[in-house]
């Protein structure tokens, strides 16, 4: 408040001094040029100059305001075009993320046509079209992207292959990826998509052929690559076992596939398990027993020991003795106890079989041990306990059955 009074005092003082100066010294200004003549007092001239300066400043500000306003109002101004493109990008990306495919395609296509670097917007619009089943439009958008940015051929082709896979055209996707693999043999994403596509198609032989490149170019982490390799060879063994040769599904194809493995691979428990299981399914029980016995002698594995109880060797007594030898070092393995119970059943040792199966269930409740013990007890005359174990085994087999609703028992109405 004091500051306001000071300012007001200063203004009044200046005005008073100015009034005194004007009264005492009116001054005189004369401007003459050819036929032009201006004559006035000094203070009037100064006032006129101040008015002209203020008028010029006002006109300049008005022109700027009109220009800016026309940029905001005019829909064809550069500022508004840029704003519309930005809005289309924001809406298109949001629509794409939230699954509004038609809107996403429209907005991203508009943004792509207006941008100098349109690749990502064309790819997004192509995906949106593909999700709507508009495959021709999707391919057309990718072709347009290639026209605008030919240096992005690989990125566009990889997107095309993924969209072809999504629409179920795995043959087309494979052709696209093979072409890119020839042009860019060491591209990690191309190799990765090829591997996934071969897996999806169930072409495990192709996955196996691709493994050296996946390893050389470090496409996958070491652990993931090792798991993929085990699965590929395991699936290949299964396919080989069911491959028809000379009109029959035979053992020779399976054995050839097994021999294709390296010596180290033939010692991996997962692959031994796959090979022995296929031998068992083909009826080569003796060969399966020998493969499992040799593998377990070299390195004990619970899964192999479990399968050992499902095969029938040439000598059931020796097979039981062999398995009982593993029990000394692995007394708490429920899978081995289950196997021993099964082998005792093969040898008609009912009491011993019951002890082993009950021992397995004490360590781990599992449906196979329940079923085996239930069958044995039924034959021994303990129907009540047998039925209990069958019910328990059914529940363990799929616990979701217990959560499923059941119908209310029908009520019998009195007559």
Task: Name the band, by pLDDT with cuts 50, 70 and 90, for residue 49.
Answer: confident
Query: Residue 184's pLDDT is what?
Result: 94
Q: How far is CA 238 from CA 36, 68, 108, 226, 251, in A?
A: 112, 74, 47, 19, 11
| CA–CA separation, 155 and 146 (whole Å) | 10
pLDDT of 128 over the 60 cut? yes
Q: Which of 389, 394, 379 is nearest to 357 (CA)?
A: 389
Segment 77-88 mean pLDDT = 75
Residue 156: both structure tokens together: 């566009």
CATH class label, 80-148: mainly alpha
Task: Name the band, by pLDDT with cuts 50, 70 and 90, for residue 402.
Answer: low
| CA–CA separation, 237 and 254 (whole Å) | 6
Query: Residue 179's pLDDT is what?
Result: 96
Query: Residue 196's pLDDT is what?
Result: 96
pLDDT of 247 over the 50 cut? no
Query: Residue 292's pLDDT is what?
Result: 96
Segment 65-91 mean pLDDT = 66
pLDDT of 250 over the 80 cut? no
| CA–CA separation, 256 and 278 (whole Å) | 13
DSSP characters over 220-250: S-HHHHHHHHHHHHHHHHHHHHT-EETTEE-
Query: Residue 73's pLDDT is what?
Result: 46
pLDDT of 112 over the 70 cut? yes
Task: Name the band, by pLDDT with cuts 50, 70 and 90, for residue 394.
Answer: confident
Task: Name the band, by pLDDT with cuts 50, 70 and 90, for residue 109.
Answer: very high
In the chain, ranges of CATH 1.25.40.10 domains: 315-397
Architecture of the structural domain at 315-397? Alpha Horseshoe (1.25)
Query: Residue 410's pLDDT is what?
Result: 47
Tens-digit pLDDT profile for residues 134-185: 999 999 999 999 999 999 999 999 999 999 999 999 999 999 999 999 999 9
Q: How far is CA 291 from CA 252, 263, 320, 341, in A?
A: 16, 14, 16, 21
Task: Name the band, by pLDDT with cuts 50, 70 and 90, for residue 21.
Answer: low
**Residue with more model confidence, 152 or 48:** 152
Segment 322-335 mean pLDDT = 94
pTM flag (> 0.85): no
Task: Name the band, by pLDDT with cuts 50, 70 and 90, for residue 413.
Answer: very low
| CA–CA separation, 27 and 14 (whole Å) | 19
Q: Where are the beta strands (DSSP E) in 19-76?
A: 29-33, 36-40
Task: Name the band, by pLDDT with cuts 50, 70 and 90, for residue 412.
Answer: very low
pLDDT of 10 over the 50 cut? yes
Compute the mean pLDDT over every residue in the chain, rounded to the nearest whole number: 86
Query: Residue 78's pLDDT is what?
Result: 55
Query: Residue 9's pLDDT is what?
Result: 74
Q: Which of 132, 83, 145 is nearest to 105 (CA)?
A: 132
pLDDT of 219 over the 60 cut? yes
């Amino acid at each position: 408040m004091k500051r306001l009074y000071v300012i007001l005092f200063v203004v009044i003082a200046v005005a008073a001094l100015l009034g005194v100066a004007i009264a005492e010294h009116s001054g005189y200004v004369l401007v003459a040029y050819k036929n032009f003549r201006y004559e006035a007092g000094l203070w009037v001239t100064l006032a006129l100059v101040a008015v002209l300066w203020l008028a010029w400043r006002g006109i300049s500000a008005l022109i700027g305001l009109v220009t800016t306003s026309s940029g905001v109002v005019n829909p064809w101004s550069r500022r508004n075009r840029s704003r519309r493109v930005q809005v289309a990008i924001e809406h298109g990306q949001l629509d794409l993320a939230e699954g509004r495919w038609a809107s996403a395609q429209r907005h991203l296509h508009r943004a792509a046509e207006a941008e100098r670097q349109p690749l990502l917007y064309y790819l997004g619009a192509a995906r949106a079209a593909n999700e709507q089943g508009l495959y021709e439009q999707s391919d057309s958008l990718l072709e347009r992207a290639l026209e605008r940015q030919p240096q992005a051929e690989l990125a566009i082709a990889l997107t095309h292959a993924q969209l072809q896979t999504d629409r179920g055209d795995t043959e087309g996707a494979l052709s696209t990826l093979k072409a890119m693999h020839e042009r860019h043999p060491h591209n990690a994403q191309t190799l990765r998509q090829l591997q996934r596509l071969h897996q999806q198609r169930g072409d495990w032989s192709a996955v196996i052929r691709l493994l050296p490149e996946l390893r050389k170019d470090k496409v996958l982490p070491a652990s993931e690559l090792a798991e993929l390799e085990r699965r590929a060879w395991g699936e290949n063994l299964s396919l080989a076992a069911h491959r028809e040769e000379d009109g029959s599904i035979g053992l020779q194809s399976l054995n050839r596939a097994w021999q294709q493995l390296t010596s180290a691979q033939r010692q991996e428990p997962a692959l031994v398990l796959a090979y022995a299981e296929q031998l068992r399914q083909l009826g080569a029980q003796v060969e399966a027993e020998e493969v499992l016995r040799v593998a377990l002698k070299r390195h004990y594995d619970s899964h192999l020991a479990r399968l050992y109880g499902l095969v029938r060797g040439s000598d059931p007594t020796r097979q039981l003795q062999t398995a009982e030898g593993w029990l000394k070092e692995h007394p708490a393995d429920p899978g081995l106890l289950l196997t021993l119970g099964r082998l005792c059943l093969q040898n008609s040792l009912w009491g011993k079989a019951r002890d082993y199966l009950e021992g397995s269930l004490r360590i781990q409740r599992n449906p196979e041990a329940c079923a085996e013990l239930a069958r044995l007890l039924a034959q021994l005359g303990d129907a009540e306990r047998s039925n209990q174990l069958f019910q328990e085994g059914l529940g363990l087999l799929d616990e979701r059955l217990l959560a499923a609703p059941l119908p209310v028992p029908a009520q019998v109405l009195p007559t």
